[in-house]
């Protein structure tokens, strides 16, 4: 009999919960995904600043969501065949008709043949994956000389929310993302060379904390990682959270949420 390690089962349960969260968020995603569109535009600018080499024939949009990156891909590589992959079926259902071939799958286990892609583009999806596993899969499906253009999140993402929750209790309320060094180490382990990297901050803003948290939930990004789900905050705890977050209010009256953006160009050696 094969025994299943508790960590592995917990990881699978977490992935199921993330998929369900993004499925439920699909209908509201586009209305709340201004930050995703901004990051996609920044990734496109990053490509323009560093792209070189032959014109790609086949591109994967890995973790495509509702297709907010498809317009950028069409501008960058208009002649290339595009495949849009997401592991939430409801997200794929919202892709514009005819934008790309649709494929339901997991970035940690890509349903694609070895050396079948020239480009992998992934904007704000890989942060939900185990970097070593996902990057090994990307290396596998890339042709020699192929490139992965990646936008992911670093550990300072939502630091304001993490600090505010510290005034409420000692529980983990905000997911911890991997630092740049971990991504680079995982890329090297997968056999990918980093030819370019960049980092910056992107901000979501709302008039109050409830609206800010609602926008995070509406894009499906409210899971904190493997483990048990917490009970909702009581009235007193919510009041402490609001008070703690108030210190971050900007002069224009809005409340910010920081996203620690990491941009990478990873190459598979020819």
Residues 234, 227: Cα–Cα separation, whole Å: 21
**pLDDT value, residue 4:** 36
Going by C-beta distance under 8 Å and a sequence separation of 6 or more, which residues neighbour residue 262?
Answer: 150, 151, 152, 153, 154, 180, 183, 197, 198, 199
CB-based contacts of 225-233 (< 8 A; 24+ apart in sequence): 225/14, 225/172, 225/175, 225/176, 226/7, 226/10, 226/11, 226/13, 226/14, 227/10, 227/14, 227/172, 230/171, 230/173, 233/168
Q: How far apart are CA 116 and CA 188, in angstroms?
A: 21
Distance CA 108, CA 201 (A): 26
Token match 């501008």: residue? 75
Q: Report the pLDDT value the prediction gives residue 233, as an integer from 0 to 100.
A: 78
pLDDT of residue 190: 98
> How confident is the model at residue 251, as a pLDDT?
95
Rounded to 10 deg, the angle between the 131-141 and 180-190 helix axes is 40
Cα–Cα separations (whole angstroms), residue 267 to 86, 133, 149, 153, 193: 22, 16, 9, 20, 5
Domains in the chain with CATH codes: 6-157+176-203+259-267 (3.40.50.150)
- Angstrom distance (rounded) from CA 246 to CA 240: 10
Instruction: Report the alpha-carbon distance of residue 53 to residue 145 in Å, rounded.
Output: 9
Beta bridge partners of 196: 265
Q: Is 157 exposed, middle or buried (0-12, 13-18, 19+ CB in 10 A)?
A: buried
Plot region of 102 (φ>0 → left; ψ -120 to 50 → alpha; else → beta): beta
CA pair distance 185, 183, nearest whole angstrom: 5
Query: Which stretches of the chain score pLDDT less than 50?
Result: 1-6, 222-228
Question: Which of 82, 3, 1, 77 lies closest to 44, judged by CA?
Answer: 77
Q: What pLDDT, on the 0 to 100 scale, is given for residue 14? A: 63
pLDDT at 1: 36
Residue 132: which of 170, 180, 189 has the closest Cα?
189
């Amino acid at each position: 009999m094969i025994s299943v390690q508790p960590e592995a089962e917990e990881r699978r349960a977490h992935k199921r919960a993330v998929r369900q969260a993004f499925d439920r968020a699909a209908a509201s995603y586009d209305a709340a995904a201004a930050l995703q569109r901004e990051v996609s535009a920044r990734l496109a600018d990053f490509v323009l600043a560093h792209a070189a080499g032959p014109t790609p024939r086949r591109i994967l949009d890995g973790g495509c969501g509702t297709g907010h990156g498809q317009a950028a891909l069409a501008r960058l590589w208009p002649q290339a065949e595009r495949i849009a992959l997401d592991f939430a079926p409801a997200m794929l259902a919202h892709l514009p008709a005819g934008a790309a071939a649709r494929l339901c799958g997991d970035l940690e286990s890509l349903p694609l043949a070895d050396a079948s892609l020239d480009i992998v583009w992934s904007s704000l999806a890989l942060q939900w994956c185990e970097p070593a596993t996902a990057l090994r899969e990307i290396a596998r499906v890339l042709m020699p000389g192929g490139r992965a253009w990646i936008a992911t999140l670093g550990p300072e993402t939502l630091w304001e929310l993490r600090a505010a929750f510290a005034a409420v209790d000692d529980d983990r309320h905000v997911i911890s993302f991997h630092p740049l060094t971990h991504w680079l180490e995982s890329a090297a382990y997968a056999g990918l060379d980093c030819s370019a990297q960049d980092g910056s901050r992107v901000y979501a803003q709302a008039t109050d904390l409830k609206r800010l948290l609602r926008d995070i939930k509406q894009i499906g990004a409210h899971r904190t990682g493997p483990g048990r789900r917490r009970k909702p905050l009581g009235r007193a705890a919510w009041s402490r959270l609001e008070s703690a977050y108030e210190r971050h209010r900007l002069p224009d009256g809005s409340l910010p949420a920081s996203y620690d953006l990491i941009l990478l160009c990873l190459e598979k050696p020819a």
